């Protein structure tokens, strides 16, 4: 008996529906079990999207059928593994970092489904979910030429009676007897996923967003940024430490180009290419990409800059370089 036919357009349609439902649920003003339901829908959206990517290329989304049993479709972990193995991550997204983000939410989903999660995780899970939606949009656009943003007709911004969690201002790191073992265990799982992505050279900005007190995106989050802390009243929560630009912009120009050329599918970029792109796109003036200490001779560059440069086509770079060369002659 042949495996059931699976349509990748239908998988995409259902994936979009799941992600839209997740956003709608999270933004309801009054709802219990908000994080859990949202994460379940987000993870489901990714499982369908990954299977759609496999089907688009003609790969099966089923396990080998055993005699007397029905066909079983791939789990999320195995779908991630096959997308990795088949090289189906678009060049414009960083596969290892997306895997870390998705697995972090999957771990939260599994714990919620089979037991429950500590309420103190809400602050950090929001950051993973927000970045997940951005990753999802980029993945679907690159893989299927479908922009998820077209399905949302207005800017969504969660509002509440309390401000979002800030740095460890009034909190202190602790390992008191009252700390939850489950909470520490979950944070250790998140660190492991993030460390794996870091070791693979993943774009850590793809793992989780970090916001300051007025919801401005400020930097990538690394595995070391997750801490378990308590406030003065003993309420347990998870907070995110902020670090300085030395951490967020670690690459010299030489190291940046080395990382970019490792990720690129086209020709290697040169320092002259980089200079031309800085001239045309004002990269040095963009704090997302570049940071220069007042006493430093040269700017330092972020992982965002590496991702941006790695995704540029040779034709685009050549056009910018030609215009830059012409401008110098004039």
Residue 88 CA neighbour count, 13 Å, CB half: 24
At which of 243, 268, 293 does a domain end?
243
Does 286 lie in the same domain as 184? no
Q: Of 228, 243, 258, which residue sits at a domain end?
A: 243
Q: What pLDDT is stored for residue 255 in this prediction? A: 92
Residues 297 and 209 in one domain: no
Report the 10 Å Cβ neighbour count for 106: 22
Task: Give yes or no: residues 262 and 178 share one domain.
Answer: no
8-state DSSP, 225: G
Q: Per-residue DSSP letters for 64-87?
A: PPPTTS---BPPHHHHHHHHHHTT
Question: In terms of domains, do 237 and 253 share one?
Answer: no
169's tokens: 């201002």
Tokens found for residue 77:
């972990």
The residue out of 243, 267, 295 marking a domain boundary is 243
Residues 18 and 137 in one domain: yes
pLDDT digits (tens, 9 = 90+) for 18-27: 999 998 898 8
pLDDT of residue 201: 65
What is the reported pTM? 0.58
Residue 55 domain boundaries:
8-147+165-243
Give the number of other Cβ atoms within 10 Å of residue 221's Cβ: 25
Which residue positions in the chain have pLDDT lower than 70?
1, 117-120, 153-184, 186-187, 190, 197-247
Q: Are 263 and 306 in contact (CB under 8 A)?
A: yes
- Whether residue 66 is found in the same domain as residue 207: yes
Q: Note whether residue 182 is domain-resident.
A: yes
């Amino acid at each position: 008996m042949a495996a059931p036919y699976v349509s990748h357009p239908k998988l995409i349609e259902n994936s979009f529906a799941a992600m839209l439902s997740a956003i709608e649920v999270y933004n309801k003003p009054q709802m219990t079990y908000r994080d859990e339901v949202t994460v379940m829908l987000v993870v489901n959206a990714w499982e369908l999207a990954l299977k759609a990517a496999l089907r688009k290329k003609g790969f099966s989304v089923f396990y080998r059928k055993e005699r007397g049993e029905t066909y079983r479709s791939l789990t999320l972990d195995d779908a991630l593994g096959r997308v990795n193995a088949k090289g189906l991550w678009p060049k414009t997204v960083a596969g290892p970092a997306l895997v870390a983000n998705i697995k972090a939410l999957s771990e939260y989903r599994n714990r919620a489904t089979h037991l429950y999660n500590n309420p103190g995780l809400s602050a950090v899970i929001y950051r993973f979910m927000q970045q997940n939606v951005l990753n999802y949009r980029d993945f679907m656009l690159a893989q299927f030429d479908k922009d998820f943003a077209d399905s949302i007709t207005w800017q969504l911004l969660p509002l509440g009676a309390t401000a979002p969690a800030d740095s460890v201002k009034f909190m202190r790191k602790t390992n008191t007897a009252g700390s939850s073992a489950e909470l520490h265990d979950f944070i250790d799982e998140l660190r492991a996923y993030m460390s794996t992505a870091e070791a693979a050279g993943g774009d850590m900005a793809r793992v989780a967003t970090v916001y300051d007190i007025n919801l401005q995106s400020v930097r990538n989050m690394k595995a070391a940024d997750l801490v378990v802390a308590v406030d003065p009243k003993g309420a347990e929560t998870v907070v995110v430490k902020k670090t300085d630009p030395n951490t967020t912009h670690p690459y010299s120009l030489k190291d940046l180009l080395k990382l970019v050329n490792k990720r690129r599918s086209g020709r290697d970029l040169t320092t002259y290419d980089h200079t031309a792109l800085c001239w045309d796109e004002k990269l040095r003036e963009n704090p997302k990409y570049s940071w220069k200490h007042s006493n430093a001779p040269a700017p330092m560059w972020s992982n965002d800059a590496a991702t941006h440069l790695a995704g540029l086509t040779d034709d685009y770079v050549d056009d910018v370089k030609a215009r830059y060369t012409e401008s110098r002659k004039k």
